[in-house]
């Protein structure tokens, strides 16, 4: 809902015939800007004798138009000094038009392009203003969904910060994919959960604010890449490091850029920290909450690779990717697994290669595993070939790097149809009723009565290479350990805040009668041990396999 009135050469002077009058009182004078969601005009309110901004929304008539009008009227009820004032919502020629205050001044994007980055103090003040605006909107159940520098106006003369362009706002619970399949929002500023097709919540706007603060401090979005596919990968998977320019604001940025929405810093906490910084020049300790997935990952990967991560020396921000995302209709405790996220990443890259910005929310399915109680040890579910490097002894691993410790997992009751088992190998997890335990010399299996599903667990001393490298070595030797190995992928992720890797692949099974199978496999290090948990199932029964994989990972407790 752009409402800026730019001055001088920044103003576009192409406009409509001055005889066009909207709702009998708003005479359109000149076009101020045009975007994917609408066109903004400077107009004269002939009834009250004042200049206003009129945004014509680019929606078709009928149900879509009525829905946009209804949402715009809801946005108009948001009253806050840092939210653009909406004067009126009307319909003209079958299209909704939103009439709002005309803010004289440019956007934050204009300021960054012309004058360069802001300092921490100015960024903190702006962040406080925008947090207030978002909290006012969220209190009304309104999500902005496109918080970015172009939608932050800086009023000339007063310095007032105004959040505008609620044109794509929706009530809480909507997703990133519109009814027509178009992507809603700006990818560089869109939260990981929205990228993955989950329902948007207030946390999604707070992620966007965290990205905006980074952009204000550096002049460049931390997720800017040369292609849409690169942007999508950066948001969903790439390591995030707070920029050096963040200085004292780094704790706030870290908190807002938590990939797991449940761990993301809340608006009240961010306000507390920013206010304290502006009063004292220092940011106090954040409120006691679960550590973010980036704390350990940043020290581990950052120390090893420095600033030159996989996305190049200019890659800023980052926490390691999280394996979970809230589903639209699920309670907060219900999360999808890394397998689903990896499938979605593949789908997003396919979209990028095609050059499209319309996305689907379907997850690609791949197949999995290679773990069977009766199988020889060399054909392991985790795909470890006998030629793979042996795991380093626990003492050597301790010398190479400090032990990584997850926040203490909270034991969960087994889901309906499952039971919790305490295994003699030193762990506990939930397995479906009727599954029977078996072992070989390296692994433990829980196998369904018909032999179709296999849940496998392997524990070993922590490897000096780390879980991602270990999984990539397993992937490289997949054709020798799993007959018909194909579609193998290894994706860095986290498990309970610890660096981890997800390996997925399809293979032919150990016998022709067994048929094609798919494996989901997550590997991580914890307290000097490496844990490998996987599920193998027929390719035609992947929904059940995912449920078993969810239950196993969600309930897994070392030392149970």
Same domain, 91 and 115: no
Residue 337: both structure tokens together: 């697994």
Give the start-end residues of each E strand in 6-129: 21-22, 26-34, 38-45, 50-57, 86-92, 95-101, 103-104
pLDDT of residue 116: 95
Residue with tokens 């409120």: 287
Task: State whether 245 and 305 are in the same domain.
Answer: yes
3-state class (DSSP) for residue 466? coil
Among candidate residues 55, 78, 104, the one where a domain is terminated: 104
Q: Which of 104, 136, 165 is the last residue of a domain?
A: 104
What's the 3-state SS for 228-279? HHHHHHHHHCCCCCCCHHHHHHHHHHHHHCCCCHHHCCCHHHHHHHHHHHHH
Quote the pLDDT of residue 181.
Answer: 40
pLDDT tens per residue across span 231-286: 888 898 887 888 889 889 999 999 999 998 989 999 999 999 999 999 998 888 76
CA of 391: how far to CAs of 218, 474, 559, in Å?
A: 41, 13, 20
> Do 122 and 244 reside in the same domain of the chain?
yes
Q: How many domains does the chain have?
A: 3
Residues 155 and 88 in one domain: no
- Pick the closest to residue 223 from 135, 318, 118, 359 (CA basis): 318
Is 76 in contact with 86 (CB distance < 8 Å)?
A: yes
Residue 218: C-alpha distances to residues 87, 213, 251 (Å): 35, 9, 16
What are the backbone angles phi and psi of residue 170, rounded to the nearest 5°?
Answer: -140, 160
In a domain, 388, yes or no: no
Do 538 and 450 share a domain, yes or no?
Answer: yes
In a domain, 309, yes or no: yes
* CB 420 within 8 Å of CB 409: no
Cα(112)–Cα(119) distance, integer angstroms: 11
Is residue 182 domain-shared with residue 300, that is, in the same domain? yes
451: which DSSP letter?
S
What residue has token string 């921000």? Answer: 317
Inside any domain, residue 301: yes
For the chain, 560 residues long, give each residue's pLDDT as a single digit of tens: 445 554 333 333 345 556 789 888 999 998 887 766 678 889 999 999 999 999 887 766 566 666 667 667 777 778 888 998 888 888 888 788 889 889 888 899 999 999 999 999 999 999 999 999 999 999 888 888 889 999 999 998 888 999 987 745 454 333 333 334 444 558 899 999 888 777 778 999 999 999 999 999 999 999 998 888 888 888 988 878 888 898 899 999 999 999 989 899 999 999 999 999 999 988 887 654 444 333 333 322 232 223 333 333 333 333 222 222 222 333 333 334 444 444 444 444 444 433 333 332 222 222 334 333 333 332 333 333 333 333 333 333 333 334 444 444 455 678 889 999 999 988 999 999 999 999 887 789 999 999 999 999 999 888 788 899 899 989 988 888 888 999 899 988 888 878 889 999 999 987 777 789 999 999 999 888 999 999 999 998 988 898 899 889 989 998 75
Q: Residue 408 gets which letter from DSSP?
A: P
CATH number at residue 29: 3.30.200.20
Contacts of residue 341, defined as CB under 8 A and 6 or more positions apart, other chains included, come to: 196, 236, 321, 323, 325, 491, 493, 502
Q: How many helices (H) and strands (E) does the chain have?
A: 14, 22
Q: What's the alpha-carbon Rg for the chain, to the nearest Å?
A: 26
- Identify the sign of the CA torsion 203, 204, 207, 212: negative
CATH assignment at residue 546? 3.40.1000.10
Cα separation of 516 and 541, whole Å?
A: 11
Q: Would residue 467 count as lying in a domain?
A: yes
The verdict on residue 225 lying in a domain is yes
How many other β-carbons are positioned within 10 Å of the β-carbon of residue 171? Answer: 14
For position 217, which CATH number holds? 1.10.510.10
pLDDT tens digits for range 146-161? 899 999 999 988 889 9
Q: Give the pLDDT score at 445.
A: 93
Q: Which residues contact 384 (CB under 8 A, 6 or more apart)?
A: 442, 474, 477, 481
Could you list the active site residues?
A: 146
Q: Both 437 and 536 in a single domain?
A: yes
* Alpha helix segments (H runs only) across 3-51: none
Flag whether 347 is in a domain. Answer: no
Alpha carbon distance 362, 444 (integer Å): 33
162 and 90 part of one domain? no
399 with 463, same domain?
yes
d(Cα 150, Cα 500) in Å, to the nearest integer? 36
> Could you tell me how many residues make up the chain?
560
Q: Clarify whether residues 215 and 250 are in a common domain.
A: yes
Residues 87 and 143 both lie in one domain: no
Task: Examine the fold and report which residue of 104, 139, 154 is the final residue of a domain before the chain moves on.
Answer: 104
Shared domain check, 173 and 289: yes
In a domain, 360, yes or no: no
Q: Which domain holds residue 124?
A: 108-339
Report which secondary-structure segment, H or E, holds 542: helix 542-555
> Taking the chain, what is the end-to-end CA distance rounded to the nearest angstrom?
54
Would you say residue 303 lies in a domain? yes
Buried b (16+ CB within 10 A) or exposed e, 280-311: eeebeebeeeeebbbbbbbebbeeeeeeebeb
Query: Mind giving me the DSSP string for 338-379?
Result: HHHHHHHHHHHHHHHHHT--B---PPP--------TTS-TTS
Report how far Cα 365 is from the mean position of its chain's Cα atoms: 20
Provide the percentage of residues in the chain whose pLDDT is more than 70: 68
For 535, counting Cβ atoms within 10 Å of its Cβ (0-12 exposed, 13-18 middle, 19+ buried), the class is buried
């Amino acid at each position: 809902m752009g409402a800026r009135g730019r001055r001088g050469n920044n103003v576009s002077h192409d406009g409509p015939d001055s005889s066009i009058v909207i709702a009998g009182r708003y005479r359109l004078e000149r076009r101020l800007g045009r975007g994917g969601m609408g066109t903004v005009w400077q107009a004269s309110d002939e009834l009250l004798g004042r200049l206003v901004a009129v945004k014509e929304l680019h929606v078709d008539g009928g149900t879509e138009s009525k829905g946009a009008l209804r949402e715009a009227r809801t946005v108009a009820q948001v009253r806050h000094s840092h939210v653009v004032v909406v004067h009126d919502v009307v319909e003209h020629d079958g299209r909704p038009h939103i009439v709002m205050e005309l803010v004289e001044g440019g956007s934050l994007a204009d300021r960054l392009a012309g004058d360069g980055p802001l300092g921490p103090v100015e960024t903190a003040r702006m962040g406080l203003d925008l947090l207030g605006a978002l909290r006012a909107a969220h209190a009304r159940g309104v999500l902005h969904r496109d918080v970015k520098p172009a939608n932050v106006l800086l009023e000339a003369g007063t310095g007032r910060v105004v959040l505008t362009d609620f044109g794509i706002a929706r009530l809480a619970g909507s997703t990133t994919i519109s009814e027509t399949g178009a992507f809603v929002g700006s990818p560089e500023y869109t939260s990981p959960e929205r990228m993955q097709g989950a329902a948007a919540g207030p946390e999604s706007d707070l992620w966007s604010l965290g990205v905006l603060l980074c952009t204000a401090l550096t002049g460049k979005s931390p997720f800017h890449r040369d292609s849409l596919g690169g942007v999508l990968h950066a948001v969903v998977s790439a390591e995030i490091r707070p920029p050096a320019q963040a200085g004292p604001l780094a704790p706030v940025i870290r908190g807002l850029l938590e990939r797991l929405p449940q761990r993301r810093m809340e608006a009240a906490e961010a306000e507390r920290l920013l206010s304290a910084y502006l009063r004292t020049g220092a940011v106090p300790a954040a409120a006691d909450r679960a550590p973010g997935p980036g704390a350990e990952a940043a020290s581990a990967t950052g120390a090893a690779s420095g600033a030159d991560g996989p996305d190049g020396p200019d890659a800023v921000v980052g926490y390691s990717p999280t394996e979970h995302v809230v589903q639209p209709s699920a309670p907060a405790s219900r999360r999808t697994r890394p397998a689903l996220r990896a499938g979605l990443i593949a789908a997003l890259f396919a979209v990028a290669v095609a050059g499209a910005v319309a996305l689907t929310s379907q997850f690609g399915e791949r197949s999995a595993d290679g773990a069977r109680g009766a199988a020889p040890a060399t054909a392991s579910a985790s795909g470890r070939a006998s030629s793979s490097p042996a795991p380093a002894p626990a003492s050597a691993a301790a010398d190479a790097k400090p032990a990584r410790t997850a926040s203490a997992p909270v034991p969960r009751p087994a889901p309906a149809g499952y039971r919790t088992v305490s295994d003699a190998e030193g762990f506990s997890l939930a397995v479906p009723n009727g599954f029977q335990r078996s072992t070989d010399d390296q692994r433990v299996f829980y196998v369904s009565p018909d032999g179709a599903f296999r849940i496998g667990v392997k524990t070993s001393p922590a490897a000096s290479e780390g879980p991602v490298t270990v999984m990539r070595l397993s992937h490289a030797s997949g054709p020798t350990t799993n007959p018909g190995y194909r579609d193998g992928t290894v994706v860095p992720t986290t498990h309970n805040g610890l660096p981890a890797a997800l390996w997925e692949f399809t293979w032919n099974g150990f016998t022709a009668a067994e048929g094609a199978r798919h494996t989901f496999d997550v590997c991580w290090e914890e307290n000097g041990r490496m844990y490998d948990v996987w599920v193998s199932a027929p390719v035609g029964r992947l929904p059940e396999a995912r449920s078993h994989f969810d239950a196993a990972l969600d309930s897994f407790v070392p030392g149970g």
